[in-house]
Amino acid sequence: MSMRTRTAIPTWELVLCVLIVAAGVWSSKLSPYYLSIDQIFESTRHFIIPGLLALGLAMVVSTGEIDISLASIVAVGTVALSKLAAAGFSIYVAAPIVIVIGALCGTLNGVLVARYGLPSLAVTLGTMGAYRGLAFIVGSEVGYTDFDDSFLWIGSEKLFGDIVPISFCVFVTAAIGVWLLMHRTFFGRHCFSIGLNPDASWFAGVEVVKVKIRTYALAGALAGIAALVWVGQYGSARGDNADGSILFVVTAVVLGGMDINGGRGTISGVVLSLLLLGTIRNGMGLANFGGPTQTVVLGVLLVGGVLRPALAATLARLRRHTSDKQAGA
């Protein structure tokens, strides 16, 4: 045991995979309705919107910052889409505009955080309220529902023999895109290096401010896409859209193994944690668990996600301890 082997697949992702399978087995024990391809794909619908936000948040978190205004940007996006639809624009014009609006909201966050060096939690707490307020002023609480079918396509139609929701395909595409960006390009490496040590990155020639602003803009753009999915799925645009969903998003990112202080983590971990949370919620929902019970289970998982690095360190120390003993013997 003197030679230490490095595993190719990160251990946390493996743990998540095992947990997903366990959650699937548990869910099928809980409810006879769980185990069906139709049902499982149908249930993914409810994770597309938080999932898109989690991908964006993961990028921001990799640089050591945070963005809790993303759910409010979704509301800005949905009411903007409703105004465009009411003005008679087609989806092909309206959709890019909404994504750009999302990116602009994100850029504003990024400029305040990166250029002016303000604490990201405070900035995005402020813009969370400001964007939500804006959505209420523009959209009012009555909301808009006269969307044309072309606006609903992304959230209501299915592909491959009427099984796979289009919104799921949108999420898979976005996940692959973000994965490539974060793990296969200079941009991604710069993000993680900034998260580890912004000063060292700056000395090494990384444009810290620009990179950070870009992560915020991309997260905002993903929130814009999430707004399109929201309208497609619910056919309703109101100021309170997606209110209160940010906690779930943060849970997914932290449980996925992203270090909340930046510099460490993988996009595949975030996707796996979304699958895990989705499976658990689907199973509990089908078994008609009470709302408070579900919240407790998700809360325990969040705490578990936060404690994970500490637990891993303890385990590593124990292992070293035993292997040292063995080496000594």
Q: Which residues bind other proteins (CB under 8 A)?
A: 31, 33, 39, 42-43, 45-46, 49, 140-143, 145, 156, 230, 233-236, 238, 240-245, 281-282, 285-286, 288-292, 294-295
| Least distance from other proteins to the Cβ atom of residue 241, Å | 8
37-62 and 208-234 helices cross at what angle (nearest 10)? Answer: 160
| Least distance from other proteins to the Cβ atom of residue 14, Å | 29
Residue 140 or 173: the one with the smaller Cβ distance to other proteins is: 140
Residue 233 or 268: the one with the smaller Cβ distance to other proteins is: 233
Residues 50, 71 contacting (CB under 8 angstroms)? no
| Least distance from other proteins to the Cβ atom of residue 54, Å | 15
| Least distance from other proteins to the Cβ atom of residue 270, Å | 20
Residue 80 or 209: the one with the smaller Cβ distance to other proteins is: 80
Residue type, 269: G
CA dist 131 and 239 (Å) reads 10
165 sits in which H/E element: strand 164-165
| Least distance from other proteins to the Cβ atom of residue 95, Å | 19
The structure tokens listed for 13 are: 């992702």
CA dist 75 and 294 (Å) reads 25
Residues 73, 196 contacting (CB under 8 angstroms)? no
Residue 88 CB-half CA count within 13 A: 0
54 sits in which H/E element: helix 37-62
Residue 140 or 314: the one with the smaller Cβ distance to other proteins is: 140
Q: Any idea which residue has 């939690």 for tokens? A: 121
Residue 179 or 248: the one with the smaller Cβ distance to other proteins is: 248
Residue 117 or 292: the one with the smaller Cβ distance to other proteins is: 292
| Least distance from other proteins to the Cβ atom of residue 52, Å | 13
